[in-house]
Structure 1
């Protein structure tokens, strides 16, 4: 059978669609297939057609397009962070159509058997161009003998997993042009500071060499490209850069080579190319492989920035754990040379290495601070499978299901073998301090940005970029405040004790569900305050509960109240910045949505965090039966009480609460809600009144408005209940 372009579909995982950096590996494979007579399609962010990125939307569009195309072959690329997503997507695709599925990339090269076990037909090990081409030819010719194809894992006819020997590293001298025409290059080459990090330019990525001979224990790149460094022909590199400049208006190149400075002869040829083309460029380098002649030549050819992997300020770690093969004098000398020739420095550091002490971490932070780099990356060690550090310290302890929890900035306990428990807290503090330094230096030394503005064209687009950055910053700060998070933090600092009446309230707020719904489930409490709602699912037998809030006082109170439960995790996090995906059985958000400036974004993030079939439940103020509050109290809150200093408001509400407390005790109440309130302790009553007059934002939803909060997000079987006849509980199921 003759394969059509629509028969071969290469897929970029949806979680990567928002990134400005494109997948060079996927583009090279696509171009290589096309040059050998097999045109193909790449599915990536182009499917969004200009719409704002949303992971759920991206996945939906991807699955719909594949069902429409009905390809014979699909091929995913994927890192360890995308492993669970691509396995899930592959299974959904195979439920709809009959297709031969391939996976490649770093994770497939390290653990190919895992993908074959999980319904992939083949996993490509190492470089993908020749391997994918052979697989495509075999499928076209109905040749089921995959045993002769080097560098793959697959199942034989008996269902046994076979791993064929790796193929030899290919000659990359004259690789075909990457398939830039198949992706959204308008997006990827728009002015941004995310590719050439920290510098707003129209960027592109180019690879001039593959392979790395060094032994860094945390890196798995060599598993794909090998230890031997191979180089593209400089003329081939030049033609590619000219193509990018002429067709996409590119202003700067980020070279993706693992170490650009490893071969001086090759580097100087690239410098001449860049100088003749009059383009800016940046690259990754090693501190022990730069000297004055090299740095001077790079500067004269348009090099704006060098990225150094320094990793640690501790000689013991550099020598014994990281195997970096550098010393601190080389670090200081390399940075000083760059400063002398006005080349910016991006300094990469890590913390949380096995056996690392707090004192050694402080040495790393102090070194980072003393270097005064132009930009930093300061992450927490992530033990990637296949790396030497993984094999030495984590092998057999981390399973595939753990991959979804890997993060470069969280430092979860199961990935932490340092002598510091709370890596995230320390990392957050140090990163903020380093970034504050960076911002101050950028303000006091703006000359590079001024030079770029006047030297380069696209000035309108550049001005638009700056204004968009300012707008995003303002929007972020608004979101960051969550309307009233600091004011609520004050409240939960005052009223943090638990009370049995909270359980009565909670059961009403989760109606029509009963407490049994939480048994053996993984639960998310979004906007947990002092943990009064998180407590009960744990009591009812939840397998695990994650609660978060965006005020440290609230988080501290919640940690204290939930301390009896080791299966509770309390995090400092904004509901607008919730990276979790398909993880929870139930997500509830009680008393938060009506205080948010952007409730739709918050609900969208909650939905993304829940597994398919999982429950999302929110509780909001109701308009019905609260008309008197909307008419009289709300204007008072908007124009006066939400602006008062918190101690003054606290005192005023104390006086009013005292009078109301006496009224409730002296006079019988007809309202079921007031009957319930009359049983509350005084501190609880005071907290309710304080809570009503405290926030900057408070919405009161009519029934249809409350239902629409979930219906318009596409949830199934949306239902609603009316707790105390003055509020709404809305729930639905993720499809």
Structure 2
């Protein structure tokens, strides 16, 4: 079945971002930019269903496919839950009340909230996967692909629920998609397929060489992405690296991107942010890496990224996930000079025993 699917090359791709909270689609932007530079004759378009009202998702998807007429439809599943512990969301509070509150009324209310959340989760997931199946059934001659962070984590649960002609890609998709476009074998990629009633996953032999990337061509992205301008007042995600050397129990960055940290050229990052700031008026940057400073040995290249922002005199504010145990005065001053506004820490506990159990890889005395 796999060989049959990739006998022919592909000359047009529609990327469909499945419904999720509104956030800049950083992975799709980097992927589409990469494909354009490697295969400039391949036509691409991005459909962002996070910008579409729920009752219009199916209609919008079908209409876009009919109008663009792509040979391949690549679905991106960013999140699989319709709720998360963000600001204003009571999920965590209700969970704690249910398990630990001594007030029976609070327990009952939290239990009802939990039941409602489960029902919402099941209905939203069912509806999301139905979009894939609807496109696959209605356009049976197109290659159906699926990837994205949520799919990369839950592929073994998702694949049996979608049409068995679909092909999945786990983790970064640049190399695998280029092979699909050119009709090449996928044996050395983390692709997922269904065969004889079971789901199988390949093994990725090589990750993308980020050091050779050039700045994103945002003019091109704007031309293929009708929802582009919807994000100009939002934080824009920029990658400085991929991979994470840590093994925190609750995080899957190293599974999706690999344990080896791979860096983009700081000059390229600076050019990318300068374009966003000066040509599109972007003021807020989110460095969407596993950690901006993964370890002390990485400070030199991270410092160069800060230097690029400072020398370009960019009017931005930036934030990121951060490990701060090795930050010194010089780095702290450059962070401030480059526009850091805040950063997110994951200390998680005041108990070293708990931190060790979670495999976070740091000592509390480094923070306090």
* TM-score interval for Structure 1 and Structure 2 normalised by the shorter chain: 0.7 to 0.9
Q: Are the counterparts in 2 of residues 24 and 178 from structure 1 also a CA contact under 8 Å?
A: no
Secondary structure of the corresponding residue to residue 43 of structure 1 = strand
TM-score by length of 1: 0.39
1:612-623 equivalence runs, <5 A? none
Report the equivalent of 2:135: 93
Report the equivalent of 2:304: 269
Alignment match of 1:215 (pick from 247, 268, 272): 247
Q: Are the counterparts in 1 of residues 20 and 78 from structure 2 also a CA contact under 8 Å?
A: no
Alignment match of 2:13 (pick from 1, 8, 25): 8
Report the equivalent of 2:32: 30
Q: Are the counterparts in 2 of residues 91 and 119 from structure 1 also a CA contact under 8 Å?
A: yes
Deviation at 1:3, TM superposition (A): 4.5
Q: C-alpha separation between the residues in 1 aligned to 2:167 and 2:38? A: 21
Report the equivalent of 1:42: 46
Report the equivalent of 2:111: none
- Summarize the Cα distance change of 1:257–1:58 in structure 2 as closer, same or farther, 3 Å threshold: same
- Summarize the Cα distance change of 1:84–1:269 in structure 2 as closer, same or farther, 3 Å threshold: farther
Q: Are the counterparts in 2 of residues 127 and 224 from structure 1 also a CA contact under 8 Å?
A: yes
Alignment match of 1:186 (pick from 208, 229, 236): 229
Alignment match of 1:175 (pick from 194, 210, 213): 213
Q: Give a deviation string over 1:245-271, Cα, whole Å, max 9, x none.
A: 232112232211211123111121111
Alignment match of 1:239 (pick from 256, 271, 288): 271
Q: Are the counterparts in 1 of residues 286 and 319 from structure 2 also a CA contact under 8 Å?
A: yes
1:497-512 equivalence runs, <5 A? none
Deviation at 1:23, TM superposition (A): 1.5
- Summarize the Cα distance change of 1:299–1:272 in structure 2 as closer, same or farther, 3 Å threshold: same
Q: Does 1:205 align with 2:247?
A: no
Deviation at 1:26, TM superposition (A): 0.8
Report the equivalent of 1:580: none
Q: Are the counterparts in 1 of residues 176 and 186 from structure 2 also a CA contact under 8 Å?
A: no
Q: Are the counterparts in 2 of residues 27 and 178 from structure 1 also a CA contact under 8 Å?
A: no
Q: C-alpha separation between the residues in 1 aligned to 2:58 and 2:346? A: 34
Q: Does 1:315 align with 2:352?
A: yes
Q: Does 1:282 align with 2:319?
A: yes
Q: Does 1:326 align with 2:362?
A: yes
Q: Are the counterparts in 2 of residues 283 and 307 from structure 1 also a CA contact under 8 Å?
A: yes
Deviation at 1:131, TM superposition (A): 0.6
Secondary structure of the corresponding residue to residue 258 of structure 1 = coil
Alignment match of 2:192 (pick from 153, 170, 193): 153
Deviation at 1:42, TM superposition (A): 0.6
Deviation at 1:278, TM superposition (A): 2.2
1:438-457 equivalence runs, <5 A? none
Report the equivalent of 1:224: 256
Which structure's relative contact order is higher, taking Cα pairs within 8 Å and 6+ residues apart? Answer: 2
Number of equivalent positions: 303
- Summarize the Cα distance change of 1:220–1:331 in structure 2 as closer, same or farther, 3 Å threshold: same
Q: C-alpha separation between the residues in 2 aligned to 1:226 and 1:10? A: 24
Q: C-alpha separation between the residues in 1 aligned to 2:156 and 2:145? A: 12
Q: C-alpha separation between the residues in 2 aligned to 1:236 and 1:45? A: 30
Q: Are the counterparts in 1 of residues 289 and 321 from structure 2 also a CA contact under 8 Å?
A: yes
Report the equivalent of 1:119: 163
1:321-720 equivalence runs, <5 A? 322-332=358-368
Deviation at 1:110, TM superposition (A): 3.2
- Summarize the Cα distance change of 1:147–1:113 in structure 2 as closer, same or farther, 3 Å threshold: farther
Secondary structure of the corresponding residue to residue 20 of structure 2 = helix
Deviation at 1:178, TM superposition (A): 5.9
Q: Are the counterparts in 1 of residues 14 and 44 from structure 2 also a CA contact under 8 Å?
A: yes
Q: Give a deviation string over 1:512-546, Cα, whole Å, max 9, x none.
A: xxxxxxxxxxxxxxxxxxxxxxxxxxxxxxxxxxx
Secondary structure of the corresponding residue to residue 243 of structure 1 = helix
- Summarize the Cα distance change of 1:56–1:178 in structure 2 as closer, same or farther, 3 Å threshold: farther
Alignment match of 2:330 (pick from 293, 302, 312): 293
Q: C-alpha separation between the residues in 2 aligned to 1:291 and 1:240? A: 27
Q: Give a deviation string over 1:72-91, Cα, whole Å, max 9, x none.
A: 21111113516544421111
Deviation at 1:103, TM superposition (A): 1.0
Deviation at 1:220, TM superposition (A): 0.9
Q: Are the counterparts in 1 of residues 9 and 181 from structure 2 also a CA contact under 8 Å?
A: no
Q: Are the counterparts in 1 of residues 20 and 79 from structure 2 also a CA contact under 8 Å?
A: no
1:53-68 equivalence runs, <5 A? 54-68=53-67
Unaligned runs of 5+ in 1: 196-203, 333-735
Deviation at 1:116, TM superposition (A): 3.3
Q: C-alpha separation between the residues in 2 aligned to 1:206 and 1:107? A: 20
Deviation at 1:323, TM superposition (A): 1.5
Report the equivalent of 1:707: none
Larger radius of gyration: 1
Secondary structure of the corresponding residue to residue 250 of structure 2 = coil
Secondary structure of the corresponding residue to residue 150 of structure 1 = coil
Deviation at 1:302, TM superposition (A): 2.3
Secondary structure of the corresponding residue to residue 309 of structure 2 = helix
Q: Are the counterparts in 2 of residues 315 and 328 from structure 1 also a CA contact under 8 Å?
A: yes
- Summarize the Cα distance change of 1:232–1:85 in structure 2 as closer, same or farther, 3 Å threshold: farther
Report the equivalent of 2:107: none
Q: Give a deviation string over 1:263-313, Cα, whole Å, max 9, x none.
A: 111121111111122233222211323222221221122222222122223
Secondary structure of the corresponding residue to residue 46 of structure 2 = strand
Q: Are the counterparts in 2 of residues 125 and 224 from structure 1 also a CA contact under 8 Å?
A: yes
- Summarize the Cα distance change of 1:324–1:85 in structure 2 as closer, same or farther, 3 Å threshold: farther
